[in-house]
Every structure is written in structure tokens, then in C-alpha cells.
Amino acid sequence: MDFLELVNFYIIPGLVIGSIYALGAVGITLVFAILRYAHLAHGDLATLGAFLALAVVTGFGISPLAALPIAILGTAAVAVGIDKVFYEHLRERPKIVTVMASLGIALMVRAVVQVIWGVDSESYVKGIVRPDVYFGLRIRDREIYTVIAMIALVGVLQVFLTQSKWGKAMRAMSDNPNLALLSGIDNKKVVMLTWIIAGGLCAAAGVFLGINTELKSMMGWNMLLPMFAAAILGGVGRVEGAVLGGLIVGVAEELSVLVLPSEYKAATAFAILLFMLLVRPTGLLRGKVL
């Protein structure tokens, strides 16, 4: 195998799937940093976002990229609604109760998707998309869009968190919740913003996964472990860490097929997750300890 084959068949696909993991991992890291629990329904919210985009694509005949904003808004609204109905009254309970509740929400969301859209595989666009060749690199347009969209969405989020009033409030809640509340920050608005952002990023991750592969009712559940591995690898609570972790996990999964059957890709993410928890629980960029 020469260098170009390695890049074309392993590195580029790894960066693309890693960008998708990064989008989901950023939402996971925000939820944990501000609400202090692991949200197990994250993957199934991504599935819901992907299928909402499919409904728009089939209903109006537009491209999945044009349907993306609608999927983001719809999934964000669902995420806020789930928090209001199921999580809000559990705020004062032990966090493990909310974690278990989120597992039940995951099953509920997946069941809704299966009832409405069925269990068969779907796709946004029929047919085979051939890659273009740039200096020997075989890259599809959708792969370029995925990476650029990830960079753009995370860049906008970083500007929001560092420059806006409510972004700074979210960071304050992440650093010291009690002090933030004493300083007059509206906890309910911060929580709502957190779910809007996390839900929107879930939808983006699901849509881009559907664009690059296909849509299945289990697609979000299957990428839940890699997203958590990415968040922990980069450092929980660090947005840039989630991006770095997502890219590393994506490339590691693709490279793993050189020595392992492709069915064991998920084992790579699991191994990374265990290794980081044992060796460096704060992650590469020194985030919060789980």
C-alpha cells in the first residue's frame, strides 16, 4: 500500500467520520459541563434530526443541506421539550437517576423514528457518487461539505461562548455553578440554551452521517460510544477538545481495519475510552474529571 492509498481509503474517511463524531461530542461535552451528567439519548436525537431532514427532502424535493437548518431547529425544539418534560423535575435528584432516564428517552425517540419511518435503510440521494481527484486525492463533494460544516458550526459556537453575554453565562455555569447562580445568572435560560445547542449539533451530526452513509434507525445509537470516546479523549467540557477527540477517534477507527475486521471498529473507540479513563481522565486538553 502506497501513501496515497493510505490517505484516500483511511485518512480521508477517518477525518470525515471524525468530523461527524466531533459535532456530536461537542453537544455531549456541553451537557456534561453545564448539567453534570452523561446524556445517553444523544445518539438517538441525532437519528431523529437525520430523519426530520429526510422528511423535508422527500416532502419538498430539496437537498439535504438545504433541509439541515429545519432539522436543526426541529431537533433543538425536541431536545428542549424533553428537558422540560422529563429532566427538569430530576435536577435535585442524584445524577445517575437522570442518566438512567436519558436511556429511557433514547429508547422512546428510537421507537418514534421506527414507527414513523420504519426500520429499513433510507438515503437522501439515490445512486453512486463518484469522487473527484485533486492531486491524487479522491474526495467527494459531500466529504468536503461535512468537514467545512463542522469547522463552521464549531467556530460559530466558539465565538458565541467567548463573545456573547449568554455564552459567557454558560461558561460561568460550567466553571462554578453555585457562584454563577449567586452572581444572578438565569439558570433556566442557560439550561435551555444548552439544549438548543446540543440538539442542533445532534441534528447536524445525524444529517451528515446520513449524507455520507445511509439512514438507519440505529445509526445514532451506533455512534454514541465513539462520540463519548471523543469527548473524553479531548477533555470533557472543552469544545476544542471534543473536535480534536472526534478527529482522532475517526481516524483511529478507519486505521484499525488494517489489523482488525471492520466489525470491530467500535472496539477501537471503546479501547480509547478505557485507556483515557485509566491514564488521563482529564483528557488531552485537561477537561473535567468524570
CA distances (Å), origin 193, targets 97, 262, 269: 22, 38, 29
Q: Is the residue at 159 inside a domain?
A: yes
Closest CA to 198 of 90, 9, 38, 56: 38
Q: Is the residue at 209 inside a domain?
A: yes
Quote the number of domains for the chain.
1
Contact assessment for residue 24 and residue 231, using Cβ atoms and an 8 Å cutoff: no
**pTM to 2 decimals?**
0.94
Model pLDDT, residue 236: 86
Q: Is the residue at 15 inside a domain?
A: yes
CATH label of the domain that carries residue 181 = 1.10.3470
Model pLDDT, residue 1: 66
Model pLDDT, residue 289: 57
Q: Is the residue at 136 inside a domain?
A: no
Per-residue pLDDT of the chain (290 residues; tens, 9 = 90+): 678 888 888 899 999 999 999 999 999 999 999 998 999 999 999 999 999 999 999 999 899 999 999 999 999 999 999 999 999 999 889 999 999 999 999 999 999 999 999 999 999 987 677 777 877 788 889 999 999 999 999 999 999 999 999 999 988 888 887 777 778 888 889 999 999 999 999 999 999 999 999 999 999 999 999 999 999 999 888 899 999 999 999 999 999 988 888 778 888 888 888 888 888 888 888 776 55
Pairing between strand 137-139 and 132-134? antiparallel
Model pLDDT, residue 125: 81
Distance CA 192, CA 73 (A): 13
Q: Is the residue at 290 inside a domain?
A: no
Model pLDDT, residue 265: 83
Model pLDDT, residue 143: 92
Model pLDDT, residue 179: 79
Residue 229 CA to its chain's centroid (Å): 11
Provide the domain limits for residue 176. Answer: 3-124+142-279
Phi then psi for residue 122, to 5 deg, are -125, 170
DSSP state of 122: B
- Which residues fall within 8 angstroms of residue 246, CB to CB, at 6 or more apart? 18, 19, 20, 21, 22, 23, 24, 25, 226, 227, 230, 234
Closest CA to 46 of 187, 227, 271: 227
DSSP lists the bridge partners of residue 139 as 132
